Amino acid sequence: MTAEKRFGNQNPTQSVILPYSKSLSQEAIDLYHKSKHDCYDWQVNMLEPIMAVDEDGLWVHQKFGYSIPRRNGKTEVVYILELWALERGLSTLHTAHRISTSHSSFEKLKKYLEDSGYKEGDDFNSIKAKGQERLELYKTGGVIQFRTRTSSGGLGEGFDLLVIDEAQEYTTEQESALKYTVTDSQNPMTIMCGTPPTPVSSGTVFTSYRQKMLFGQAKYSGWAEWSVEDEHGIHDIEAWYHSNPSMGYHLNERKIEAELGEDKLDHNVQRLGYWPKYNQKSAISEKEWGDLKVNALPTLKGQLFVGIKYGNDGANVAMSIAVKTLSGKIFVETIDCQSIRNGNQWIINFLKTSGAEHVVIDGQSGQSILASEMKDFKLKAPILPTVREIVTANSLWEQGIYQQTLCHADQPSLSKVVTNCDKRNIGTSGGFGYKSLFDDMDISLMDSALLAHWACSNVKPKKKQQVRY
């Protein structure tokens, strides 16, 4: 007896859908069937909320985003909608990150028109210029243009439907150029479809939109995803069916087995729809920082150097240390990060007993006050770095990470900040500093470590006195 065929999860694992009582999805599905193609159940389930309308005939969701693991046919949902838009005389802009993806979508939709009985030249017109393809259905005047995204593409043009394919690569600059292209439409809609971002993804809009949706911070918008909440093993077949709705249709276990590799995170992101909880676009990646971790405290030699950073917002002050190891690397560790309201006594107490060779203090909100208190306690005068020296300190920190000349013990607080940071401009000569990607992570923690690292890097070994006779 043949075993019953098994299908993947046909409903999103997580979604935010506004209430509605009517949808135009069946109209689109009927047109799709005319092209001699059938919809998967999950595609029908997706189209219904996407094409939901209110009592005035306006889209319930002016913006809708969805995320599905690779090779599930996520764009097919868009093609069904675009066929309907052509038949209704609407103007559509279909954008993608790569020219090959944009051109493939053009070829696919052109074929669906031909499969529906339409003839090129008699019933519709097509322009095949790569990166600028276009389809026009004569009887309705419906038009769809296929473009690759740029920071200026789409400006000055108006559309009823905007499609953002490969949405994980959608940047804020591209969004600024495209989001106004549907403003003049009486009933606009924007669709974003993609997969969770990987470490090489350039876009941030898709991730930001998902966060807003899941926290209920977006109006007239919808979201759906197939995903796992936590990482699963590569060979977890149940997770395959959980996150891949096209399992049992064109996707099967044999095909997934053939793609399996050693990278567990990559498998979870691309095949299971996992959204990593750390930011993928940090200027310093989790892997780069993780490669510098030591499993045991190394043998330390030489003097201790202290870095102190008062936060730019005047809320906190952080202190870290740096010291050279026997192997010649620089070991860094954070001592603490406290509210400025707690005063500086905890810093003074540490400096009195640390025997630090040099103390570097940065941050106008507390720099001069701490320097004065150190003088009162007869401590060695600190270094108050110039802007040029701060730029140098940041560059040395980056070089130390890339060249693996620094090491750390993987303190959770420091690692969290380091792997969720971005660069910011300093001065007018191309210098840079760092900023946190999240409001609840204080970059002063890392800044204090890189100041200590800079001071330790600048120390010159004392020359042994030579006696000649």
Instruction: Pick the closest to residue 276 from 243, 237, 231, 209 (CA basis).
Output: 231
Q: Phi and psi dihedrals of 309, rounded to 5?
A: -130, 120
Q: What average pLDDT does this structure show over 18-24?
A: 96
Distance CA 279, CA 197 (A): 10
Tens digits of residue pLDDT in 378-416: 999 999 999 999 999 999 999 999 999 999 999 999 999
CATH of residue 259: 3.40.50.300
Residue 464 lies in a domain: no
Eight-class DSSP state of 427: T
Indicate whether 292 and 392 sit together in one domain: yes
Q: Which of 50-54, 109-113, 219-223, 278-282 has the lowest mean pLDDT?
A: 278-282
Residue 469 lies in a domain: no
Indicate whether 238 and 352 sit together in one domain: no
Q: What average pLDDT does this structure show over 149-164?
A: 80
Domain tally, the chain: 2
Distance CA 195, CA 268 (A): 11
Burial 433-449 (b: 16+ CB within 10 A, else e): bbebbeeebbbbbbbbb
For residue 155, the model assigns a pLDDT of 57
For residue 192, the model assigns a pLDDT of 97
Give the end of a domain, one of 270, 296, 314: 270
β-pair partners for 225 = 14, 67
For residue 177, the model assigns a pLDDT of 86
Instruction: Pick the closest to residue 85 from 201, 230, 190 (CA basis).
Output: 190
Ramachandran area for residue 302 (φ above 0: left; ψ -120 to 50: alpha; else beta): left
Question: Is the torsion defined by CA of 425, 427, 428, 431 positive or negative?
Answer: negative
Q: What average pLDDT does this structure show over 94-114?
A: 93
- pLDDT classification of 466: cutoffs 50, 70, 90: very low
Q: Which of 145-159, 163-177, 252-266, 373-387 has the lowest mean pLDDT?
A: 145-159
For residue 57, the model assigns a pLDDT of 96
Indicate whether 103 and 251 sit together in one domain: yes
Residue 112 lies in a domain: yes
CATH of residue 433: 3.30.420.240
Ramachandran area for residue 23 (φ above 0: left; ψ -120 to 50: alpha; else beta): beta
Q: What angle do CA 35, 38, 42 make, to 5 degrees?
A: 135
Residue 343 lies in a domain: yes
For residue 462, the model assigns a pLDDT of 47
Give the end of a domain, one of 270, 305, 332: 270
Distance CA 394, CA 431 (A): 9
Indicate whether 297 and 264 sit together in one domain: no
Residue 94 lies in a domain: yes
* Residue 357 pLDDT exceeds 70: yes
Residue 9 lies in a domain: no
Residue 145 lies in a domain: yes
Indicate whether 26 and 87 sit together in one domain: yes
pTM over 0.85: no
For residue 202, the model assigns a pLDDT of 77
Residue 8 lies in a domain: no
Eight-class DSSP state of 374: H
Q: What percent of the chain has pLDDT over 70?
A: 94
Q: What is the chain's mean pLDDT, rounded?
A: 90
For residue 23, the model assigns a pLDDT of 98
| Residue 312 lies in domain | 286-458
Eight-class DSSP state of 380: P
* Residue 3 pLDDT exceeds 90: no
Q: Which residue has the higher pLDDT, 314 or 39?
A: 39
Indicate whether 159 and 256 sit together in one domain: yes
Indicate whether 261 and 366 sit together in one domain: no
Indicate whether 121 and 177 sit together in one domain: yes
Q: What average pLDDT does this structure show over 305-312?
A: 93
Tens digits of residue pLDDT in 186-195: 999 999 999 9
Q: Where are the beta strands (DSSP E) in 195-346?
A: 221-225, 300-310, 316-325, 330-339
Indicate whether 293 and 238 sit together in one domain: no
Q: Which residue has the higher pLDDT, 291 or 467?
A: 291
For residue 228, the model assigns a pLDDT of 94
* Residue 469 pLDDT exceeds 50: no
Q: What average pLDDT does this structure show over 443-469?
A: 76
Indicate whether 43 and 159 sit together in one domain: yes
For residue 277, the model assigns a pLDDT of 64
Indicate whether 307 and 417 sit together in one domain: yes
Determine contact, residues 320/373, Cβ cutoff 8 Å: no
Indicate whether 252 and 350 sit together in one domain: no
Task: Quote the tokens at residue 385.
Answer: 């770095």
**Burial of 32 by CB count in 10 Å (0-12 exposed, 13-18 middle, 19+ buried)?**
buried
